[in-house]
Structures are given as C-alpha cells and as structure tokens.
Structure 1
Amino acid sequence: MFGLTEKEVRDKYPEVYQHVKTTVKPERDQNNRTSCRDNWWIFGEARSEMRKALKGLSRYIATVETSKHRTFQFLDAAILPDNMLVTIAHDDAYVLGVLSSRIHVVWALAQGGTLEDRPRYNKTRCFETFPFPAATPAQQQAIRKKAEELDAHRKQRLALPTNSDLTLTGLYNVLEKLRARETLTDTERDVNTRGLVKTLKELHDELDALVADAYGWPADLPTPELLEKLAALNAVHAAEERQDIVQYLRPRYQNPEATVQGLLVEVEGVAAAAAKRPAFPRKTKEQSQAVRQLLRDSARPLTPGQIAQSFTGVGEGRIEDILGLMEGVGQVREVPEVGGYVA
C-alpha cells in the first residue's frame, strides 16, 4: 500500500483496508510518532532512500542479516525486502561475484558481529569498508559470467519440484563438509546428489580464483595474510577519498553530476571496451611511458597482470621486466601490502 492514500486503499483493496483498519489502526492510534498514527495503513517505514535506489532495477543483491553461511543472491525487484535482509541496490553480477567470493566473506566475518553462534552482516562495517578490486573490463566480465552461473545453479536446484525440502542453508552445510573433507551422512549424501553440491563447490572455487586474480593475489592466501592485504587496501581507498577520488559502484546513481573522480565505471559493452585497449608499444622507452601513465591515471596500485590486461600484445612477464627497470630509476614503487605498483 506504499504510495496510496487511505481512500485509494479502501477503493482498490477493500478487504485489505478493512483487515488493516481492524487489526493495525488501534495499535497505531497509540503510537507516539505522528507519522505512524496518521499513516496507519502503511507497513512499517517507507524506506524512501532504499526505494529510490532500487527504482529502475529489475533485480537487486541481498543477503540475510544473520545467517550461519554468508551467501548473496539476486532477488527480483518485485520482492520487497524486510528488515532482516541487507540489500545492495545493484543488478550487476560482477558485484554479486565479488561479494560471493571467499575474499569478501573473510572480511565480513572479521568485521561483522554475531547473534548467538551465527554471524551478522553489518552493512556499515562489512560492506561500506570493503575494498573492491581494481578489476579490468576482462576480469569484470569473467567474474560476472561465473556469478551468473552460481546464482542460476542454486536457484535451479532449489526450484525443482523434487527438491522442495532442500534449503540454501542445507546446501551450504554440505558444502562446508566437502571443503573440510569430512564424511557425509546418508542425509547429506542425498542433499549432495539432489542439490549438486559438488558442482556448487566447483563454481565457488572458480569464482574465488577469478576474484583473487582481480586483486592480483593468490587464491589460497591464509586468512590472516588476506585480512592484512584487505586492511592495507582499505587504507589506500581512505587516502583516495580524502582527495575526492571515490570508488563508486553505481556512478550514474551515486555521482550523477560527476563532481569527483570515480574509479569503477558501470560496464556497457565489455567486448567493445576490451577492443579499445591500446597496443603495447614496441620500444622500451615508450613502454615505460605507457605503464607510468596508466599507473598515474589509475590513482591506485595495479599488479603486473592488471597492467598487462590493459594493453594488447604484451604478457605479464614483460610488464614485470619493465616495472623492474622503472623501479630501479625511481619512476614507480611497489606497494607490497596489496601486491601492486604506483607511479
């Protein structure tokens, strides 16, 4: 009934109107907040900022605030989230992929709280502080494709009529045991078979490798070292924001006037963007100039792999050689904490 007047509710939905007036209005009449008393037929808070952010999206990303397993998925825009869902107003599977990766889950578990024995996802501590990678268009597209596969796989298995008793939590309970190489019970083997949990594990492993590559880090970094690198990258982002260099996930929504520099651009036509990558120069002097200019424009540390993927006709090994020469003469320096270079 959001957006409807009292009369419109009564005219369009008379049964709902009578039910709400009978069961809700008496309690609202005692509410100390004028807005709640006067708008007694509207459920809870209007959440105008969230509605504004979701407007125009066909889907959005959501995770349950308190959950044994930290999973993210797309929900259709027709679904109105309640207060137990943390919603991310984005429809790009690249964002879903990064959030679904081990790298983000490790960060969220370290930053968030707990309720009894279950982790809680706090958007301020877990999401807003999380440093996204400086992924190239090609890396974004690879993550995007894998995240779509992951989301579709889970939805497809849970939607089967024969799997009506399966749940997302049940799938991930088995997934955790597979990762730990523990013996499955008969019930868990059944879940594994009908839910294709081994395939779910493969999709997660492949996604983790793609996201780690976007950061320029090994996929099997121990948790303490991974948290150190993320904290260092968070500090880099904080320093950038003090200079009005902001990593927007939805630039056209968050920064429509383009008043400050945005580092992540919403991708439209990734193949076209990749086709416009410049050819890597042939002469060493021009190569170092091209690399230095790229590092200056990025305003963030870039790994040799990310630099190589910004050009055509060059491999990561050659970029490492060029960076070594440039570092020797003081043109670039390495930032070991994040495994990248800055000019």
Structure 2
Amino acid sequence: MPDEPPLTPKERKVHDQGLVSVLAQLHDELDAAVLAAYGWADLAPALVGRPGGTTPWPDKPAEQAAAEEDLLTRLVALNRERAAEEARGRVAWLRPDFQNPTGAGTEQAAAEIAVAAVEPAAAAKAPWPKTLPAQFQAVRAMLADQPAPADAEHIARQFKRARTKQVAELLETLEALGQVQQPEPGRYAA
C-alpha cells in the first residue's frame, strides 16, 4: 500500500476515541486464533495484520497473494472432506446433545475442539425502584425468577441500593396479600 498521509488532528481524535488501534489488534488476534484453530498458523505471518488481507487490493505483495490462494485452497479441500464424511453418515458434531439430541440417522462423532472454560459474568444488579408500588412489583418479579425459595437478603442483593429490612417488609406484605408464599421461615417463593 502506498505511503498514507499522516492523520489530521481531527482524524487522530476520531482514531483515538474510536479505539481503532485496539479494534484492529483484536481483529488480528482473532484472525491468528482462527488460523491456529484450523492448524494453519503457518499462513498467519503473510495474512494477519496486512492491508487488504483476504480482500481485493491491487499491488498486493506476492507472498500475501500466495497465502490467500493457499488459504482458499485449504478451505475448499476441508469443505469437500466434510461433505464426503457427511455423505458417508459421519457428522462431527460440536455439541451432539444440542445439535442432534436423538442421534437419529447418523454416526455421531464429537468434534475435537478445545474450549477454554469461561467464567460466567456477574449479573448486573437491577436498579431499586423509587416508588413503593414499583418496589412491590420488582421484588415479586425478582422472586419469580429465583429457582428456589429466597430470603430477603438474597433478594436485596439483586438490586442496587435496596435495604434488606425494606425488602423483608415488602415480602411480608406480599405474603399477607397472598402474592407470595413462605414455604419455610424467612424464605419466600412466588
């Protein structure tokens, strides 16, 4: 790619505020990870982070153009291989229990893909409503979402700035009105 003129101050501001460099780095890391997952990391130096990588661009370096051609050739070969396996009745399911729960009609084989364990993100707390009627509705709705009976402290922790004592009073009132049940002392269910 020919030398580009330097960014103007306005363009630099947009570049910095848009985190363009960070986004480009993340894309490059993703591209490298995908190539590695396919076992094609040897193509990464010629493709990852290169202008016009895998897209039309005149005057592309020969090394990059050759790597793109090689990548396309490998993808076509892999597609043919998978199609032939499926024609023989062998499917490499990533998630057999989800994709083919009955196992009907094919010889199932779990695909060999290493998946890193991901910690679940902490659930965001709901805002605590300002009005009493809205607080009653919010507590009742939150209780309905609980898989098991919950106490006032647990429900209060689901909201930003909710006080346990106030939630306990709301739960007691909801029980008195027949809106929730108390299957065991101090624990409520919808």
> With structure 1 as the length reference, what TM-score do the two structures score?
0.24
Q: State the structure with more CA Rg.
A: 2
> With structure 2 as the length reference, what TM-score do the two structures score?
0.40
